[in-house]
Amino acid sequence: MDATMPRIANASTRETRQPIDQGELRTILSNLSHELRRPLISLKAGFDLILRGPSSSISSDERGHLSTMVSLCDDLLRLTRGYLDYAAIVQGARPLIPGTFTLGAILGEIDRQFAPAAQERRILWSTTLDQPEAVVVTDVMRVQQILGNLISNALKYTPTGGQVRLIAKAEDETWSLIVEDTGPGIPADSIDKVFDPFYRLPRDEHSGVEGSGLGLAICRELVSQLHGRIEINSRPGQGTSILTSFPRGGSSARDQAQSRGADPPDVGLTSADKPRRGGNR
């Protein structure tokens, strides 16, 4: 056999190849998302320009196809934003910024954001809080991102006429947030997988519900950065409850701030943002 012939890769050579480093994978993901965003934004701008032109220049069928393409561009842009968020969060690109907040103020801001969306989808939305004046030290932006992902998922999968509820509790050393819904629930064999990046639950192909598979992976990483824990309790056909719990004093957050030579800011949200206790809309 000619010794100069090129070597053909086989199963054994593939098995000895080193797996890609997770940090390298996240860098690739981030760079790829950036590269995809440029042409997608250009495509969307071009489609929008055509759609805003004279109605006589394109047929109604062509206008429908263009509108579909704009929607597809929006979907892909949302996916790339999710990939960028995940890469940045896992790489720890943003340090903790702790502050002192009341639970009432935190829930008030979430209530303001999501009550209209629930009403639009005809889903019963409620918040429950026994101690609105309870004070916690946390990075409120991370907390809002966690709740944003959890509540968005709950609203997405809960059918019209269902219910989504946010509960906040404060104890001596910890505080917790619980998001409950009356959606389809999670199969038992998927509970341990839903926090894996890019994992998607098997849904009815006609349900029309799509996602990036990164929402709960992002939540798990953010909860870990806040030295908390996250747990899921779910039964198919009976809904899902997701609990997040954090240290109330925020000592780890304060330690990180002090290690940078700065005191954590005491910047509470305004009292006008406090939610109506147990209010249903």
Structure tokens at 52: 């805003």
Among 67, 90, 113, which residue terminates a domain? 90
Together in a domain, 256 and 138 = yes
* pLDDT at 11 (0 to 100): 34
Do 61 and 108 fall into the same domain? no
In a domain, residue 205? The reply is yes
At residue 18, the pLDDT reads 45
Backbone angles phi, psi at 110, to 5 degrees: -65, -40
Looking at the structure, tell me whether residues 68 and 148 fall in a common domain.
no
Tens of pLDDT along 39-63? 888 888 888 888 887 776 788 888 8
The residue to which tokens 């005491």 are assigned: 266
Residue 103: exposure state from Cβ atoms within 10 A (0-12, 13-18, ≥19): buried
* CA 272 to chain CA centroid, nearest Å: 26
- Closest of 164, 186, 168 to residue 177, by C-alpha: 168
Give which of 267, 229, 231, 27 is closest to 141, Cα–Cα.
267
Q: Which residues of the chain have pLDDT under 50?
A: 1-20, 204-209, 251-281
Residue 2 placed within a domain: no
The total number of structural domains in the chain stands at 2
* CA dist., res. 127 & res. 136, Å (int): 18
What pLDDT is recorded for position 272?
Answer: 31
Residue 280 included in any domain: no
The residues near 150 (Cβ < 8 Å, ≥ 6 apart) are 179, 215, 219, 242, 244
Q: Are 73 and 121 in the same domain? A: no
Q: Which residues form the domain of 29?
A: 11-90
Q: For residue 46, what pLDDT is reported?
A: 84
Together in a domain, 83 and 104: no
